[in-house]
A and B are shown apart, each in its own frame.
Chain A
Amino acid sequence: MYDFSIVTRWIDSLLRHTLNLGDFWSILIECILVGICILTAYALIAIVLIFMERKVCAYFQCRLGPMRVGPWGIFQVFADVLKMLIKEIFAVDKADKMLYYIAPFLVIIASVGTFSFLPWNKGAVVLDFNVGVFLLTAISSIGILGVFLAGWGSNNKYSVVSAMRGAVQMISYEMSLCLCLISAVVLTGTMQIGGIVEAQHGAWLIFQTPVTWLAFLVFLVAGNAEANRGPFDLAEAESELTAGYHTEYSGMGFGFYYLAEYLNLFVISGIAATVFLGGWMPLHVAGLDGFNAVMDFIPGIIWFFVKTFAIVWILMWIRWTFPRLRIDQILKLEWKYLMPLMLVILTLTTVWVALV
């Protein structure tokens, strides 16, 4: 199994010993390097995701999707990004300028922040705190603030309605999302992302107990709602609220929301893949050592991407299948169905851990 920490250790020793830099400078340089890597990966994955969304959506609707810009339309997203970059950013009259300009950054901070928690490979977990899952949910809730401030600061009634809906929905679904993560934490006994992945060495978490796959399904539903997508996109219900909380944004302000929407999808899928499907951990079946050895030959990053994009595809399938829910239906689904179900699952998991 390829271990990425060889590379990171080598860079660290290069800075500390070969170049003889002090603690401060070597850590600073490492932080900048990691930051650049994360932002580059963020942008690249956004491009892939937007293209994938357009194609998958088209195929579900019996269309071809973008076909003109480049072969099979692969340069469509670059054209979109170029257009967005050269558009003027202007604020509405009487908008709360400070909130208006801060909001996209809050959303993108939450998105990049949660993105940094994803375990790419063995030894390539960027943020690997001992309170990882806890911190992850904390950072992801900054995004709610961004959505709410954007709607409030825009001086637009549709945006306010959308912001209200978005806040209500995201705060509600945070509940079952966290309960899903807690049930995983109960099973693995650690909050550290790396530790959670290591705990799935024998078998992925959904195969470890008879109820965890239910938690995985609930996580997908709640995650979809958390990313404001699919049947839960009533924060930007375009048929009712034009574009919801980002109606009044143009240029890169809108671009940040667009980026964050797709990266949140990726982050949710990545976390689902990490917590329930083992992240970069290859498929191991207890007792089949030959099979396990063959699976170990596939690098962890490929495992991670395959699992994540499989979940992304499933979420897109859900998004382009189901009609949008009403606000009361969304809250009913969360508080009357998902959360009680998750509490039951959490109890069962705890009992399982205590008895088995």
Chain B
Amino acid sequence: MENNKSYFGEIGAALKTLGTGLKVTMKEYFTPKTTEQYPENRKTTLHVAKRHRGRLVFLRDEDENYKCTACTMCEKACPNDTIKIVAHLEENPETGRKKKQLDDYQYDLGDCMFCQLCVNACNFGAIEFVNDFENSVFDRDKLVYHLDKEVYKGGSLPNLIEGGAPLTIGKFNTKTK
């Protein structure tokens, strides 16, 4: 703020800026509120952006085959030791070449900090984050997912993977059912 005004000039400037502030908040008082009432709106107006990182899943093709090769790049990339991969070497009887075979892909949601380093590290596009965010359970052990065993078919809410309801800002998102 320039402070080279006279005594009365300062008063005038002060009143002007105070008036601007009051005008802004007054306008805000009457705009529709942005609060979302979550449990009520989960089947109606809930919007969760597609890029939101809710949990890790395996990407699968039509035949539900995953692309993971147990290379453990994601396990090494993870800062929290969230991912644990168990694999064994298996010899191909035709070619005689040994290849890693995935036994268990353990992903501990409770330790995950959703940094996406594992997804970035993956050379095969085998894993991705989805916006399925309703993951709370009563037991920590239930947060340990075995991604190779489960076939992820969308989250707890219909259409959530696609983002749910269209994003509306400044609407009373309080509808139930």
By a beta-carbon cutoff of 8 Å, the part of chain A in contact with chain B is 58-64, 67, 317-318, 320-322, 337
Contacts and interface: CB of A to CB of B under 8 A. Distances in A.
Given A62-B33, A63-B35, A317 B28 contact: no
A176 to B, nearest CB: 15
B29 A59 contact: yes
Given A58-B33, A62-B34, 10 more contacts: A59-B28, A60-B29, A62-B31, A62-B35, A63-B33, A67-B35, A67-B37, A321-B25, A322-B18, A322-B21
Interface residues of B, number: 14
Contacts of A337: 11
A217 to B, nearest CB: 10
A300 to B, nearest CB: 29
Interface of B: 11, 18, 21-22, 24-26, 28-29, 31, 33-35, 37
18 contacts: A59-B28, A60-B29, A62-B28, A62-B33, A63-B34, A64-B35, A64-B37, A67-B35, A67-B37, A317-B25, A317-B29, A320-B25, A321-B21, A321-B22, A321-B24, A321-B25, A322-B21, A337-B11
A251 to B, nearest CB: 31
Nearest to A67: B37
**Among A58, A62, A320, A322, residue most surrounded by chain B Cβ atoms (within 10 Å):** A62
Contacts of B22: 317-318, 321
Contacts of B33: 58-59, 62-64
B9 to A, nearest CB: 13
B35 A60 contact: no
A70 to B, nearest CB: 15
Contacts of B21: 321-322
Given A322-B18, A337-B11, A60 B25 contact: yes
A317 B11 contact: no
A322 B23 CA distance: 11
B26 A317 contact: yes
Top-9 shortest CB links A-B: A64-B35, A321-B25, A321-B21, A60-B25, A63-B35, A59-B29, A64-B33, A62-B34, A60-B29
Contacts of A321: 21-22, 24-25
Nearest to B24: A321
A61 B18 contact: no
Contacts of A322: 18, 21
Contacts of A58: 33
A320 B21 CA distance: 10
Nearest to A340: B7
Given A318-B22, A321-B21, A322-B21, A61 B11 contact: no
Contacts of A63: 33-35
